Amino acid sequence: MHIFKIFRAAEWQALRANGETAGAPIDVADGYVHFSTATQAAETAAKHFAAEDDLFLLAVETDTLGDDLKWEPSRGDALFPHLYRNLRLADVIWAQPLPLVDGKHQFPAGLEEAAE
């Protein structure tokens, strides 16, 4: 299963330059890297990145994360994936821009369907 991380351009650039990251400031503060499922990603973008442009969407395969990945209740008691170690560049399957068009982030076609 793929899970998704939204990064600002500078955060994505830092991961690419350093090979790993503790995540965005919220991740560092909370002690784990926040991810979303395909069905949660758009709400995450709207809630935490409203009106922000220059974002990237990263996909990671859950099977490669082992016991460092925990599913924990969060928004609306839904289970969200949290990574309790640094995110490594090698974990990232793909990354692509997440453009803001008319005030809404444009996710890749079929992303939610891929989750089902």
Do β-strands 2-8 and 55-61 pair in parallel, antiparallel, or remain unpaired? antiparallel
Where residue 26 sits, what CATH number does that domain have? 3.20.170.20
Average pLDDT estimate for 17-25? 98
Question: In the chain, how many domains are there?
Answer: 1
Residue 113 included in any domain = no
Residue 74 included in any domain = yes
- Range of the structural domain that residue 63 is part of: 2-102
The whole-number pLDDT of residue 114 equals: 52
Average pLDDT estimate for 68-86? 95
Residue 112 included in any domain = no
Label residue 59 by pLDDT band (50, 70, 90).
Answer: very high
Residue 66 included in any domain = yes
For 24-72, the three-class secondary structure string (H helix, E strand, C coil) is CHHHHHHCCEECECCCCHHHHHHHHCCCCCCEEEEEEEHHHCHHHEEEE
- Tell me the whole-structure pTM to 2 decimals: 0.93
Is the pLDDT at 23 greater than 50? The verdict is yes
Residue 96 included in any domain = yes
Residue 61 included in any domain = yes
